[in-house]
């Protein structure tokens, strides 16, 4: 499976789970169950980004993958900072760092880019 497709489907699956069972997903991410709204916001973002990526192609899809890489990178940095500041327990926090960093790598692998003049295309 193309890494971009796999990442987009993974986003949708995590997003749907976050919307359907915010307490469970939130607990897994170290978010107190009294804050399901935060998990639902995360879920909405993941479904939207995953679906938009699947529904596009070419440079539009490449742009969405790059946006996803930036978002996942920010998620990894935020989770790491949360652990360092004792705002997030170490075990779920470092797991979140790993998952977000893995999504960054997957997005970058999916962007097998070829230069043709100044245009860049998803391979």
Residue 120's pLDDT is what? Answer: 41
| Dihedral in degrees, nearest 10, Cα atoms 63, 117, 115, 49 | 10
Q: Are 25 and 43 in contact (CB under 8 A)?
A: yes
Residue stretches of the chain with pLDDT short of 70: 32, 34, 112-123
Report pTM: 0.82
Residue 48's pLDDT is what? Answer: 97
Residue 105's pLDDT is what? Answer: 92
Residue 25's pLDDT is what? Answer: 87
Residue 81's pLDDT is what? Answer: 97
Residue 26's pLDDT is what? Answer: 84
Residue 122's pLDDT is what? Answer: 47
Closest CA to 103 of 27, 32, 12, 26: 12
Residue 12's pLDDT is what? Answer: 98
Closest CA to 96 of 31, 10, 16: 31
Domain boundaries in the chain? Answer: 3-122
Residue 119's pLDDT is what? Answer: 38
């Amino acid at each position: 499976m193309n890494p971009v497709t796999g990442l987009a489907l993974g986003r949708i699956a995590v997003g749907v789970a976050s919307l359907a069972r915010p307490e469970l997903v939130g607990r897994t991410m170290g978010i107190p169950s009294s804050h399901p709204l935060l998990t639902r916001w995360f879920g909405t973002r993941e479904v939207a980004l995953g679906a938009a990526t699947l529904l596009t192609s070419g440079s539009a899809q490449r742009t969405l993958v790059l946006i996803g890489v930036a978002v996942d990178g920010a998620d990894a940095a935020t989770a790491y900072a949360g652990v360092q500041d004792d705002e997030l327990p170490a075990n779920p926090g470092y797991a979140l760092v790993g998952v977000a960093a893995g999504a960054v790598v997957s997005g970058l692998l999916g962007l097998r880019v070829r230069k043709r003049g100044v245009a860049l295309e998803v391979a």
